């Protein structure tokens, strides 16, 4: 039976009262490439990157003109709550739509210049962009605004991961066409970066 990505899997309500100070998260942020197990807090990570933080629909990541050109997809290993697959994050109402079934981490790692460690992350958060949402208002300058927003988004994932006791590393090297197919991206979206997230080995604390 074909998947219906419009059927949402609701995520737990995000926590806005964390136990780690922002200054601590900044000081402890390091790229981690050795993982043991994975995050149980997927919804929290996605919320930190693109979640709604204001009744007017404003999000955690600043966006020029509130155009929000970014979309988040997760390449996920099976967890207690979710089966392995590719999921699309919907900030409203904070849920996931499943795009594909199966574990695609090794396939993604192969397209990311054969970086085998990527496949050991329990979730790969892939960030795509639909630039026309921003360039439609700001013209060619909008491309720069989209790039700035991607940086904000990736850093939010990093800092939230640290605050949760997780490790993360950004992965920007991959075959765009293959990854677009793997994520089932619509034609107006292009993959721009990704962040591999998992629980670090005890010998490599974040």
pLDDT one-digit tens code per residue, 57-98: 999 999 999 999 999 999 999 887 899 999 999 999 999 999
Residue 168's DSSP bridge partners are: 31, 197
Confidence at residue 204, expressed as pLDDT on a 0 to 100 scale: 56
Number of domains in the chain: 1
Domain membership of residue 106 (yes or no) is yes
Closest by CA to 174, choosing from 191, 161, 187, 188, is 191
Domain membership of residue 18 (yes or no) is no
Residue 31's DSSP bridge partners are: 168
Kindly list the distances between the CA atom of residue 22 and the CA atoms of 4, 25, 60, 123, 158, in Å, as whole numbers in the listed order.
38, 5, 14, 23, 12
Joined tokens for residue 132: 């026309």
What range does the domain containing 76 cover? 23-198
Domain membership of residue 147 (yes or no) is yes
Q: What is the CATH number of the domain that holds 98?
A: 3.40.109.10
Domain membership of residue 84 (yes or no) is yes
Confidence at residue 159, expressed as pLDDT on a 0 to 100 scale: 95
Confidence at residue 26, expressed as pLDDT on a 0 to 100 scale: 85
Domain membership of residue 171 (yes or no) is yes
Query: Is the confidence at residue 202, as pLDDT, over 80?
Result: no
Percent of the residues in the chain that have a pLDDT greater than 90, as a whole number: 77
Domain membership of residue 126 (yes or no) is yes
- Rounded to an integer, the average pLDDT of 88-110 is 96
Confidence at residue 118, expressed as pLDDT on a 0 to 100 scale: 95
Confidence at residue 10, expressed as pLDDT on a 0 to 100 scale: 94
Q: Which pLDDT tens digit goes with each residue over 18-67?
A: 888 888 888 989 888 888 876 668 999 999 999 999 999 999 999 999 99
Domain membership of residue 169 (yes or no) is yes
Report if pTM > 0.75.
Answer: yes
Confidence at residue 13, expressed as pLDDT on a 0 to 100 scale: 93
Domain membership of residue 13 (yes or no) is no
Closest by CA to 170, choosing from 198, 142, 146, 193, is 193
Confidence at residue 35, expressed as pLDDT on a 0 to 100 scale: 84
């Amino acid at each position: 039976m074909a998947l219906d990505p419009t059927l949402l899997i609701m995520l737990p309500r995000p926590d806005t009262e964390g136990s780690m100070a922002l200054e601590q998260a900044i000081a402890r942020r390091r790229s981690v490439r050795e993982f043991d197990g994975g995050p149980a807090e997927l919804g929290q990570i996605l919320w930190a990157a693109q979640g709604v933080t204001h009744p007017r629909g404003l999000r955690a990541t600043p966006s020029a003109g509130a155009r929000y050109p970014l979309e988040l997809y997760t390449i996920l290993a099976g967890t207690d709550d979710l089966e392995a697959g590719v999921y699309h994050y919907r900030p409203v109402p904070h849920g996931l739509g499943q795009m594909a079934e199966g574990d695609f981490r090794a396939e993604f790692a192969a397209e990311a210049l054969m970086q085998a460690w990527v496949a050991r992350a329990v979730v790969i958060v892939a960030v795509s962009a639909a630039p026309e949402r921003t360039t439609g208002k700001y013209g060619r300058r909008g491309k720069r605004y989209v790039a700035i927003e991607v940086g904000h988004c990736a850093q939010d994932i990093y800092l939230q991961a640290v605050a949760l006791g997780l490790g993360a590393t950004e992965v920007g090297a991959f075959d765009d066409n293959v990854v677009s197919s793997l994520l089932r991206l619509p034609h107006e979206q292009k993959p721009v970066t990704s962040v591999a997230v998992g629980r670090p080995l005890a010998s490599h604390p974040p």
